[in-house]
Amino acid sequence: MKHNRIGTKLGLVIISVFLVVLLTLGIVIDRMFSSFYYNEMQTEARELASHFAVMAGSGESAGEQMMLTFAEFSNVSIFNISSGGEMNLHSGLHDSRDRAFLRTRDLKVIFGGETVSFVYKDPEGHRYFVTGQPIRSGERVSSALYVMSSTESMERSLASVRYILLLAGIGAFILALGITWIIAGLLSRPLLQMQKATRKIAAGELETRLTIRGKDEIGYLAGAINDLAVDLQRYRDTRQEFLANISHELRTPITYLQGYARVVKDGLYETEAEKVLYLDIIGQEAHRMQHLVDDLFELAKMEEGRIPLNLEEVNLRLILDQAVRRLELTAREKGLELSVAYSGEAEGNVPGDSKRMEQIIMNLLENAVRYTEQGEIRVSLAYAPAAAVLVVEDTGMGIPEAELPYIFDRFYRVEKSRSRQYGGSGLGLSIVNKLTQLLGGTIEITSKAGAGTRCEVVFPREMKS
């Protein structure tokens, strides 16, 4: 089994997001607890310092003894410093010989009547929160009181919090790995299926279908791949069918041409009338081949956008009248009634190419006559301010509804089993559709099997620029 690269990439992205979120959350929580403990300790130290300063400022020996006792009970160290920097009083566990925390600028601030607070680290690496307050004797500052509170308990509490955060982070990370593996697998599995399916389709296995269902983008993509496979399969089938039909259509006239040409060349006829008949057959088959080849080249030029248009004002009624007259005899021979109706302007022109419009009308009428065995063919032309609407209706065999979406496709023939009986190569409606689009119009065909067909072509009265 190949390595799931997309699953790995997706997993790395998700786990990276988890890591960033976990690290950010851990740092924020750590800062929050650190700030909380720091502020609490700072508040507590300042309150103690203020309380001790009041006791020291009273000048009573009982108050001083009480301050020392309270200091030991509170687990803090007290230093009473004179204005000259000499130590008047010391209490607590901190070594009185360590005076590195006494800074000249702080003493100036304290003797100026202000309070100072800072964190101090002794030579042994222990950290203390130091608060210095002035001791007043009347209106003047007599000495400075330093209260040192060890941060050891705070650091132990923070260490416990960090340990809990670390365990929680590891647990969350392990959980994230499991969730990531599941999510990456779920999201990448349909993509891998689509990859395999598209490779099969590219290799020619056009029957391949995806069973992925969903109303999200992956489901839509799977549906699009299935639709593509259906279209490719249909295109392949119609192409193969078209090639088979064209081969037969060409083989039949070629056989006639070869056979009757040999008959005429070798003089294997009995009368001149028979000779003329054979030559007529040769001419008809040559014309049939020429018509087929012309259709192929015409459609090829349309597909490439190389077909020229001679735009002019065209009288559609005149073109329709001529087309109907040309097909009246054929329709009469089949016992069909061919009727024409006009509405709107008596003489209306539309911009377009008269030759191409005649080709559209003739193709539609020929199809109607070819596929109608009995009944009538009704043709109408209606002029409106914005467009001219041509409608051709017949009572022929009709087109099954399932076939309607494909009737304009190249090489598509509805009546496959009887296509040679009715003639045509499956190019006529495709050519009509392309020409209508080139002229800026629209074409719509509605039909039911056994109930006839209605074709409506709309030509705009003004060409779009």
Query: Using one digit for the tens of pLDDT, what is the confidence trace for 358-378?
Result: 989 988 998 888 888 888 999
Confirm if 77 and 92 have CB atoms less than 8 A apart.
Answer: yes
Distance CA 198, CA 161 (A): 54
Residue 281: is its pLDDT beyond 80? yes
Residue the block writes with tokens 């109930």: 451
Compute the average pLDDT of residues 30-46: 80
* Least-confidence region, from 269-283, 298-312, 444-458: 298-312
Residue 300: is its pLDDT beyond 90? no
Confirm if 318 and 309 have CB atoms less than 8 A apart.
Answer: no
Q: Sheet containing 87-91: give its strands across.
A: 87-91, 76-82, 140-150, 127-137, 116-121
Six token digits for residue 380 = 């109408």
pTM as predicted: 0.47
Give the Å distances, CA to CA, from 118 to 130, 141, 151, 181, 293. 5, 21, 12, 49, 99
Residue 457: is its pLDDT beyond 90? yes
Residue 206 CA to chain centroid, in angstroms?
A: 24
Distance CA 417, CA 285 (A): 22
* Delimiting residues of CATH 3.30.565.10 domain(s) in the chain: 312-460
CATH code of the domain made up of 312-460: 3.30.565.10
* Delimiting residues of CATH 3.30.450.20 domain(s) in the chain: 5-156
Distance CA 24, CA 13 (A): 16
Region for residue 129 given its phi and psi (left: phi exceeds 0; alpha: psi -120 to 50; beta: otherwise): beta
Mean pLDDT of the chain: 80
Residue 418: is its pLDDT beyond 50? no
Q: For residue range 173-193, list pLDDT tens digits in order.
A: 888 888 878 877 777 778 788
Continuous H helices in 83-207: 104-111, 152-202
* Delimiting residues of CATH 1.10.287.130 domain(s) in the chain: 217-304
> Which residues have a Cβ under 8 Å from the Cβ of 266 and sit 6 or more positions away?
none
Opening angle at CA 445, ends 465 and 429, nearest 5:
75
pLDDT at position 380, please? 92
**CATH assignment of 217-304, given 3.40.980.10, 1.10.357.10, 1.10.287.130, 3.30.1440.10?**
1.10.287.130
Tell me which amino acid residue 86 is.
E
Six token digits for residue 278 = 């054979």
The CATH architecture one would assign to domain 5-156 is 2-Layer Sandwich (3.30)
Torsion of CA 163, 168, 173, 178, to 10 degrees: 140
Q: State phi, psi for 247 to the nearest 5 degrees.
A: -60, -45
Continuous H helices in 2-151: 5-57, 61-73, 104-111
Confirm if 58 and 66 have CB atoms less than 8 A apart.
Answer: no
Compute the average pLDDT of residues 161-165: 85
Percentage of residues in the chain with pLDDT exceeding 70? 87
pLDDT at position 411, please? 59
pLDDT at position 455, please? 93
Compute the average pLDDT of residues 324-346: 85
Q: For residue range 85-116, list pLDDT tens digits in order.
A: 777 777 777 777 777 888 888 888 888 888 88
Confidence category of residue 392, pLDDT binned at 50, 70, 90: very high
The residue among 59, 130, 58, 60 whose CA lies nearest residue 92 is 130
pLDDT at position 443, please? 93
Sort 251 into a burial class: Cβ within 10 Å, 0-12 / 13-18 / 19+. Answer: exposed
Distance CA 231, CA 313 (A): 39
Residue 337: is its pLDDT beyond 60? yes
pLDDT at position 1, please? 43
Residue 415: is its pLDDT beyond 60? no
Residues in the chain: 465
Q: State phi, psi for 128 to the nearest 5 degrees.
A: -135, 150
* Least-confidence region, from 39-48, 111-120, 198-207, 258-267: 39-48
Confidence category of residue 390, pLDDT binned at 50, 70, 90: very high
> Which residues have a Cβ under 8 Å from the Cβ of 100 and sit 6 or more positions away?
120, 122, 123
Confidence category of residue 419, pLDDT binned at 50, 70, 90: very low
The residue among 152, 249, 140, 181 whose CA lies nearest residue 14 is 181
**End-to-end CA separation in angstroms for the chain:** 57
pLDDT at position 409, please? 73
Residue 65: is its pLDDT beyond 50? yes
